[in-house]
Amino acid sequence: MMNIPMHRFKYTKLSKDQVTRKLAATAAGPKSASQLSGVLAGKSLKIVTDDGPVLHYAFKSANRLTLAEGNASAAEAAYGALELKQMVFFSHMVPGTLKGFNVFVDLKSHLATVFEVWFAGGKDPSGQQLDDREVQRQVWFGYVDVAGKKAPEERHHFTNRLEGTGMYWKQDTGIETIDLYPSIISSNFIEVTRHADDLSYCSPSDYILVNDNLVIYDRTECEFSGIMTLYLLDLFTETQVGMRLGFNEKDELEYYMYRGAGKIVGQLTSLAPFDEHGKTVNLAMGGAPAKAAKAAPAGPPPKGQRTVYRPGRTFKNMTPEEVQRAAEKSTVTFTGDPNAPQQQAGMMGGHLLPFSDLLVGKEFTLRYDNEGPGWEYKVLDIYNLQWRKEGTTAWQKETYRAFEADEKLVFFGHIVTGSNPVSCRRIALDLTNGLTTAILSWMGTEYYGNEVSYRAVFGAAEMEGVNAPRYVRHGFTDELVGRGFTRTYSDQMTSMHLYTTAHSSSWTIYTANQTLGMQWCAPALYVKLRDGVYIFDLVEEACNGAETCIIENEKTKRAIGFGFSGGERGVSFGLIGAIARDLGGYDIKHFLGPKAKGV
């Protein structure tokens, strides 16, 4: 299996002038495959938002309106509107500017939520420069001012009620997506029709509760094209009305409204407290006491602020030569004392299995298909082995660690000393049938010298007492697609692995109250070793470049394996051990796989 690039889309850094010129097309209003609504034609609305703008709307027709912000002069614009239940959603840009408004109005309660959107956002609150093409947003909660009526006390508000839900959607455009909502600040989405590869992506998201069945959702593909998708969904009827705004991978402007129909495809179990409703977000890391969270600064947050994971912008790109020089100064492998702290594992090595002695004293040859000469091994003790390539005479000694991941199924790993680039092997060896799978990894990709490359090879062992098959092999699998598991690596770190497709995965960090928060995703591979026992391998691509390679045993709810990474401090080959909980999953496999892409 070749590694599938995920975060490597090359978008043009459109200038503010280019964005301005392209946005001129929005003067005609949003397109729509479905009939737009005229419910607002002839009406006027005064929308008052908390700590935000007061918007005076006059709807001249079904597609033209005037807007006055506060005491400013009115401007005329084209708009589109769609209805869902008692809600009307309308969208427009403001002519002569880089901004627009997307407004959800509850015609019964007179509550309103306003998404003010704009381009050319400057810098984010952390000081990182934002691309001019990335859609920014500010959410304003408010109400429609009705003459003679007191302003309502309630508001729409942020929520965790959708956390863990997954939905399949098909728009009236023919576009199909799978939207998974595992976090309260992020979401996963799989483009069933737009992209040729079955990969999931993560983007910062908002979830706003209108009532028990109506929820407003948005995502902005901040680390990709910067495009925004925004919709209102009805859980009763499993329908949606939405809007998409921004520039796609071809730098084409998309601005359209749509209707969609779908279905719920599953639900992950939330571990948040029962009295946690998600109205505010505490992003303190899981395992830390809630009181340790930093106090929010006084006053309102900067306009447009949102939690966005941008690791690719802070990752230091090293050359292969720089990584090799760093590795020659420091390549950290396992400590010799089994009772000593696994310093290179850090928080991810807190729940290790005991080191296994099943291989001690054994000699064997591992042959992998299409890999040339076999590898001959002599296992000296619980910490050290020798190996050589078949047909050579000199043995190379390595320190290694082995774990019994399932009954007589050994998972062992070691660095290949002297390799350039630095490489390592993680080998699953089934002592009951001789089948073996190796994950071969090395420092460097075509993008970064300090990002890990990896691949799986399949074969069989020649060893005393084992009659290995000639044709049967382990193989890649999609059995884990849609599943979610917690991984508690130590009392200080728990995350969730969400296995979104057969070629990708995401990991999400738990907050202090066990709500799911920060999320990232990457290509991955999955190998079935036995029923309920799998290899999972992922590199944090366009992030820190580090690899996680583990065997997962669904029977014991254990994950055990190895981490591999490199950087300015050298190369590290360490241990990973975690206790798991099964959170459920999504029934989505039948949407994926080779298919005709008609959209």
- Among the candidates 308, 341, 374, a domain finishes at 308
pLDDT category of residue 511 using cuts at 50, 70 and 90: confident
Does residue 195 contact residue 177 with C-beta atoms inside 8 Å? Answer: no
pLDDT category of residue 122 using cuts at 50, 70 and 90: confident
pLDDT at 337: 57
Answer yes or no: do 219 and 277 share one domain: yes
pLDDT at 572: 93
Mean pLDDT, all residues of the chain: 91
Phi, psi of 402 (to 5 degrees): -130, 145
pLDDT digits (tens, 9 = 90+) for 152-163: 999 999 999 999
What is the helix (H) or strand (E) element at residue 167, kind and residue range?
strand 165-171
More confident position, 294 or 168: 168
Percent of the chain with pLDDT over 70: 93
pLDDT at 344: 41
Q: How many helices and strands (H and E) does the chain possess?
A: 3, 38
Q: Is residue 487 part of a domain?
A: yes
Helix (H, G, I), strand (E, B) or coil at 267: strand
Q: Is residue 550 part of a domain?
A: yes
pLDDT at 491: 84
pLDDT category of residue 71 using cuts at 50, 70 and 90: very high
- CB burial string 44-75: b at 16+ within 10 A, e below: ebebebeebbebbbbbeebbebebeeeeeeee
pLDDT of 93 > 50? The answer is yes
pLDDT at 343: 45
Q: Cis omega (within 30 of 0) on the bond before 421?
A: yes
Alpha helices in 332-371 (DSSP H): none
Q: Can you tell me the distance from the alpha carbon of 58 to that of 37, in angstroms, rounded to the nearest whole number? A: 15
Q: Is residue 180 part of a domain?
A: yes
Q: Is residue 288 part of a domain?
A: no
| Count of beta carbons in the 10 Å neighbourhood of residue 189 | 21
pLDDT at 2: 43
Distance of CA 99 to the CA centre of its chain: 28
Provide DSSP, 95-144. TTSSEEEEEEEETTT-EEEEEEEES---B-TTSPBPPTTSPEEEEEEEEE
Answer yes or no: do 421 and 566 share one domain: yes
- Residue labelled with tokens 């005076």: 56
Helix (H, G, I), strand (E, B) or coil at 255: strand
Write out the residue range of the structural domain in which residue 143 sits. Answer: 16-283+293-308
pLDDT category of residue 598 using cuts at 50, 70 and 90: low
Comparing 10-19, 335-344, 476-485, the range with the smallest average pLDDT is: 335-344
Please state the rounded mean pLDDT for residues 419-440.
97
pLDDT at 596: 61
pLDDT of 260 > 60? The answer is yes
Tokens of 121: 């956002």
pLDDT at 217: 98
Question: For residue 351, what are the contacts with CB-CB under 8 A and spacing of at least 6?
Answer: 488, 489, 490, 558, 577, 578, 579
Answer yes or no: do 257 and 358 share one domain: no
More confident position, 121 or 61: 61
pLDDT at 115: 98
Q: Could you tell me if residue 287 is left (phi over 0), alpha (psi between -120 and 50 degrees) or otherwise beta?
A: left
More confident position, 493 or 234: 234
Comparing 127-136, 139-148, 227-236, 355-364, the range with the smallest average pLDDT is: 127-136
Tokens of 253: 């402007």
* HSE-CB of 227 using CA atoms within 13 angstroms: 18
Q: Is residue 134 part of a domain?
A: yes
pLDDT at 127: 79
pLDDT at 502: 95
Answer yes or no: do 324 and 304 share one domain: no
Please state the rounded mean pLDDT for residues 52-74.
96
Answer yes or no: do 202 and 339 share one domain: no
Answer yes or no: do 52 and 100 share one domain: yes
Phi, psi of 425 (to 5 degrees): -130, 140
Q: Could you tell me if residue 305 is left (phi over 0), alpha (psi between -120 and 50 degrees) or otherwise beta?
A: beta
Answer yes or no: do 298 and 348 share one domain: no
pLDDT at 493: 86
Q: Is residue 11 part of a domain?
A: no
Q: Can you tell me the distance from the alpha carbon of 138 to that of 127, in angstroms, rounded to the nearest whole number? A: 18
Query: How many folded domains does the chain comprise?
Result: 2
More confident position, 543 or 563: 563
pLDDT at 314: 79
Tokens of 431: 């002592």
pLDDT digits (tens, 9 = 90+) for 365-400: 999 999 999 999 999 999 999 999 999 999 999 999
CATH number at residue 91: 2.40.128.20
Q: Can you tell me the distance from the alpha carbon of 484 to that of 580, in angstroms, rounded to the nearest whole number? A: 10
Question: Among candidates 226, 69, 68, 63, which has minimal Cα distance to 137?
Answer: 226
Q: Is residue 171 part of a domain?
A: yes
pLDDT digits (tens, 9 = 90+) for 322-374: 999 999 999 988 865 555 544 444 568 889 999 999 999 999 999 999 999 99
Tokens of 436: 């073996």
When computed from its CA atoms, the radius of gyration of the chain, rounded to whole angstroms, is: 27
Answer yes or no: do 354 and 384 share one domain: yes
Does residue 373 contact residue 462 with C-beta atoms inside 8 Å? Answer: no
> Cα dist. 552→411, 412, 502, 548, 559 in Å?
11, 14, 15, 12, 4
- Among the candidates 308, 341, 375, a domain finishes at 308
Answer yes or no: do 231 and 324 share one domain: no
Answer yes or no: do 54 and 77 share one domain: yes
pLDDT category of residue 297 using cuts at 50, 70 and 90: low
Please state the rounded mean pLDDT for residues 91-116.
97
Distance of CA 217 to the CA centre of its chain: 17
Q: Is residue 313 part of a domain?
A: no
Please state the rounded mean pLDDT for residues 416-441.
97
Q: Can you tell me the distance from the alpha carbon of 282 to that of 291, in angstroms, rounded to the nearest whole number? A: 10
Q: Can you tell me the distance from the alpha carbon of 140 to that of 142, in angstroms, rounded to the nearest whole number? A: 7
Question: For residue 402, what are the contacts with CB-CB under 8 A and spacing of at least 6?
Answer: 355, 356, 357, 358, 359, 382, 410, 411, 412
pLDDT of 525 > 80? The answer is yes
Tokens of 223: 């680390």
Q: Can you tell me the distance from the alpha carbon of 350 to that of 578, in angstroms, rounded to the nearest whole number? A: 7
Answer yes or no: do 566 and 587 share one domain: yes
pLDDT at 341: 44
* HSE-CB of 328 using CA atoms within 13 angstroms: 8
* HSE-CB of 73 using CA atoms within 13 angstroms: 2
Helix (H, G, I), strand (E, B) or coil at 312: helix
pLDDT at 287: 42
Answer yes or no: do 278 and 355 share one domain: no
